[in-house]
Amino acid sequence: MTRRRWIADEVSGTHAALTGEHADHLVRVLRARLGQEFDIATGAVVRHGRIVNIQEGRVEFELGDEVSAIHIPNITLLLAIFKFDRLEWAIEKCTELGVSRIVPVIARRTDAHLASAAAKRAERWRRVALQGAEQSRRAAPPEIIAPVKLQDGVSHAATGLRIVLAESEQQTRLRDILASQPAGEIVLAVGPEGGWADEEVQLFQRSGWNSASLGPTILRAETAAIAATAITISELA
């Protein structure tokens, strides 16, 4: 039977702990008990863990042998901010698929109220990613940075194979670009509801990005993010 995996909040030698809401979920929802065994991700490695102490807001594990961890490809998702419930769904699913970094960006068509509230949501997005990482048995969640303006996001993504998903692209498919380039660091840019504005498409072009399509249909932003990630993971496998 596959053991459930948890990503430790604290690690010290042969012991690790979950704390706060993280621990409370294990205790109250999953009915944790002394002696119960899990896989515990401790940063660089994943180890076998056995519960040795349960307190309010804290569960402690004794760590044992190292267990194998899945390989996570180097994929950064430049994700325009859109409606928060759908954005969180995209973050969760792209985490499960295997992105290594998510950069929320404020685009021209990002709603002003969402843009102003985005900075306060970053910690929630990190919790969503943590849950998605544990669900999919990753050793660590993707890095999620604080929201930035699109210009800054494009500037920071200066290396690797950079691909912007654009409705205006009629010929080149994402799969075609991935198949023609050597595997390595990949950056995918997915726009907001309504797509990228014309000046944003031009910004990507001036910055040396490849433009790609996901097909003839128009996808919701969260669907595009998940589809692009899934196609990329498939091509890298």
Every domain of the chain and the residues it spans:
5-67, 75-236
What pLDDT sits at residue 203? 96
Mean pLDDT of 39-60: 92
What's the pLDDT tens digit per position in 90-135?
999 999 999 999 999 999 999 999 999 999 999 999 999 999 999 9
The candidate with the shortest Cα–Cα distance to 96, out of 126, 121, 69, 130, is 130
- The pTM score is 0.87
Residue 71 pLDDT more than 80? no
Residue 154 pLDDT more than 90? yes
In the CATH scheme, what architecture does the domain 75-236 have? 3-Layer(aba) Sandwich (3.40)
For residues 78 and 154, give the distance between their C-alpha atoms in angstroms, rounded to a whole number: 8
The candidate with the shortest Cα–Cα distance to 138, out of 229, 7, 227, is 7
Per DSSP, 121 falls in state G
Per DSSP, 173 falls in state B
Which residues, including other chains, have CB under 8 Å from residue 162's CB and lie 6 or more apart?
186, 187, 189, 207, 208, 209, 210
What pLDDT sits at residue 156? 82
Question: Does residue 121 come out as left (phi exceeding 0), alpha (psi in the -120 to 50 range) or beta?
Answer: alpha
Residue 17 pLDDT more than 60? yes
Class of the 5-67 domain? mainly beta
What pLDDT sits at residue 229? 97
Alpha-carbon Rg of the chain, whole angstroms? 20
What pLDDT sits at residue 73? 82
Specify the higher pLDDT residue, 75 or 70.
75
- Is residue 186 within 8 A of residue 75, CB to CB? The reply is yes
Domains 5-67 and 75-236 share a fold: no
- Residue 199's pLDDT band (cuts 50, 70, 90): very high
Average pLDDT, the chain: 92
